Structures are given as structure tokens and as C-alpha cells.
Amino acid sequence: MKMVQAVIKHTRLDAVQKALMAIDVHGVTLTEAKGFGRQKGHTEVYRGVEYEVRFLPKIKLEIATPDEKLEEVLAAIQTAARTGEIGDGKIFVYEISDVIRIRTGERGKEAI
């Protein structure tokens, strides 16, 4: 099983969610994140003092998925999250060694 972790722009969340539902992915965990990368940050000025803010708001999605569905999920996210501008984000894939559904105690692929 794989864990897909995607860092995307706020504005693309809706599109990504729809794309995932379209390929029957019904489990996602989301966290608010901030990203630092090629994308230029902005300046904030308070009472004459300037602050460079390089961390920009992003959304981090985590989707556990069986190996065979991985590429489908990656494609869906990449297409839906893409605007073509710098800062669109990254997708990271990890190996999961186990999954448990807390409610039922199911383990492994069944639990996803």
C-alpha cells in the first residue's frame, strides 16, 4: 500500500477533491500547511518595518491507496492541481507497512 502526500494550492482543493471522487477515492486526510519553494513570497509592512514572508499557505492531502491504484491517483491529483504557475506543489509517495480501521479493527488493504 502507498501513502500519497500532495502539497497543493488552496484554490485547487475543490478540483482535486472532485477528481478523487471521480476515480472512487473516498478517503483523504487534509492539513493546513505552509510551503517554501521556488514561488516568490511577499512582503508585509507593519509600522514601517518590512518582513519578508517566504512561507505561503498550502494544503497538504494524504491519501492511502492500494498499489494498483497509485498511478490513477497520482494522475488525478496532478491534473486537477495544476495551474501551470510556479508553486503548484509536489506529490510525495511513501510505502505504508500497515493500515488499521479503528472502528472495525480491519487491517491492511481492507482497511483503506
Partner 1 sequence: MKRIRTVSKLLFSLSAAMAFFSFSAPAVYADAAPATSKINSGDTAWLLVSAALVLLMTPALGFFYGGMVRRKNVLGTIMHSFWALCLVSVTWVLWGYSLAFGPSIHGIIGNLSWFGLNGVGQESSPLGSPTVPHLAFMSFQMMFAVITPALITGAFAERMKFSAYTVFIILWSTFVYAPIAHWVWNPHGWLYTLGALDFAGGTVVHLNAGIAALVAAIVLGKRKGYLEVPMLPHNIGYTVLGASLLWFGWFGFNAGSAITSGGLAALAFVTTNTATAAAALGWAFAEWAHKGRPTVLGAASGAVAGLVAVTPTAGFITPMGAIAVGAIAGVICYTAVNLRPKLGYDDSLDVVGVHGLGGFWGAIATGIFASPLANPAGRGLLYGNAHQVIIQFEACGATLVWSGLVTYIILKLIDATIGLRVSESEEELGLDLSQHEESGYNL
Ligand X SMILES: Nc1ncnc2c1ncn2[C@@H]1O[C@H](COP(=O)(O)OP(=O)(O)O)[C@@H](O)[C@H]1O
Residue ranges that bind ligand X, judged by CB under 6 A: 7, 27-29, 35-39, 56, 58, 62-64, 86-90, 101, 103, 112
Among 42, 84, 95, 98, binds partner 1 (CB under 8 A): 42
Residue 93 near residue 6, CB atoms below 8 Å: no
Q: Cβ closer to ligand X: 8 or 47?
A: 8
Which strand (E) or helix (H) includes residue 74? helix 70-81
3-state secondary structure of 42: strand
Q: Does 47 bind its own copies (CB under 8 A)?
A: no
Among 44, 53, 100, 110, binds its own copies (CB under 8 A): 100
Residue 20 near residue 41, CB atoms below 8 Å: no
